[in-house]
Amino acid sequence: MSIGTFILVSIIKIVVALGVLLTAVAYTVWLERKVVGHIQNRWGPTRVGPFGLLQPLADGVKFIFKEDLIPPHAYKPLFIAAPMIALIFALTSISVIPIGNWITVFGIHTPLEITDVNIGLLIVLGITSLGVYGVALAGWSSNSKYSLLGGLRASAQMVSYEISLGLSLVGVLILASSFSLRDIVDAQAGTYWGFIPRWNIFQGQFIAFFIYLMAAYAETNRIPFDLPEAETELVAGYHTEYSAMKFAMFFMAEYANMITVACLATLLFLGGWHGPHRFGPPIVQAILPVFWFAVKIFAFLFLYIWVRGTLPRFRYDQLMAFGWKFLLPLAIANLVITALIVALRA
């Protein structure tokens, strides 16, 4: 493939991926409001469009027309840059996430991801580490005590749970022997006895899946780990002083992080785009993996929202003690046991 074709195909993939991701973010918000509403025995949005489906559009218009306030003694450059930093890093990690097999469109053979790097998992972890800056800088530049406390707490929480997140993934890496996300999914192809799929969660990474789940809830600042942005605790934490479009950027960054985490969980633990037997004409066969991928992500996001509606939140010292004193030793134990089993089997 010549370099011109390569750049053109990449630009098309980037535009499609960004479009799909931003729409998914908007409709994840809708899904959350509906599901949490039903858990709390009320309807959720119903007025704007059928089943409230146009509610994200109305929210977007509201955010655009709201007044954009900057507090008087805030440090302006960082105040304006922090939501942009958060959103940039939240949207960048989609670039190494594969959603299907290689397809051939108009004679161009291309994988269904923006790039295929052989350290894909490390890149996603690196971008997650950089996402802490958006939160920390927002909290500090707002020049307000609630924001500073919320920002410090949120960034300390994110940094602490990053370690357990990374360690829980090393078990998967040992089983797949590669950092490339595509190779990890390909190692989960096939089934046992014809109907139990060879997903990593069934191959012994059950505990690792739960460690990943809990670390992911803490990384994305969701209930039960959302003390840094809970209304009853810190007004709104690090995004107290933000309004209109800047707040919308933080909001979008949080949901984009949720979707990235759901994609990673699907790829690493739930078998990626492998589903039951393929059927149908070739055009359907090319789209079917994407469909299975979307179903698994939807299930993971539903679990996220379900937990949000059900559990109370942790106090900050309980949260940090849980991360350092329970999850981290458990993740290390999981790693040691997986390594022992793989070494003894070989």
Partner 1 sequence: MLHLLVFSVFGLVCVAGAVNLLVQRHPINSALSLVVVMGSLAVEYLLLGAEFVAAVQVIVYAGAIMVLFVFVIMLLNAGEEERTKGSRVAMLFGIPGMLIGSVLVAWVLLEHSGTGNVATGALPGPPKVIGWLLFHDFLLPFEVTSVLVLIAIMGAVVLASHPGSTQQDKREG
- Name the minimum Å distance from CB 46 to partner 1: 43
Site for partner 1 in 118-137 (CB under 8 A): 118-119, 122-123, 125-126, 129-130, 132-133, 136-137
Please answer whether residues 108 and 2 qualify as being in contact, where contact means their C-beta atoms are separated by less than 8 angstroms.
no
Tokens of 287: 């789209």
**Half-sphere exposure for 33 (CA within 13 Å, toward CB):** 16
Q: Is 140 in the site for partner 1 (CB under 8 A)?
A: yes
271-298 as b/e: b if 16+ CB within 10 A: bbbbeeeeeeeeeeebebbeebbeebbe
For partner 1, which is the closer residue by CB, 9 or 81?
81
H helix and E strand count, the chain: 13, 4
Q: Is 139 in the site for partner 1 (CB under 8 A)?
A: yes
For partner 1, which is the closer residue by CB, 60 or 126?
126
- Name the minimum Å distance from CB 139 to partner 1: 8
Binding-residue pattern over the window 264 to 303 for partner 1, x denoting contact by CB under 8 A: ----------------------------------------
Tokens of 345: 């089997």
Element (H, E) at 334: helix 328-345
Please answer whether residues 161 and 129 qualify as being in contact, where contact means their C-beta atoms are separated by less than 8 angstroms.
no
Site for partner 1 in 143-162 (CB under 8 A): 148, 151-152, 155-156, 159
Residue 314 CB partners (closer than 8 Å, separation 6+): 224, 225, 227, 322
For partner 1, which is the closer residue by CB, 132 or 301?
132
Q: Which residues are near partner 1 by CB under 8 A?
A: 75, 78, 117-119, 122-123, 125-126, 129-130, 132-133, 136-137, 139-140, 148, 151-152, 155-156, 159, 177, 179
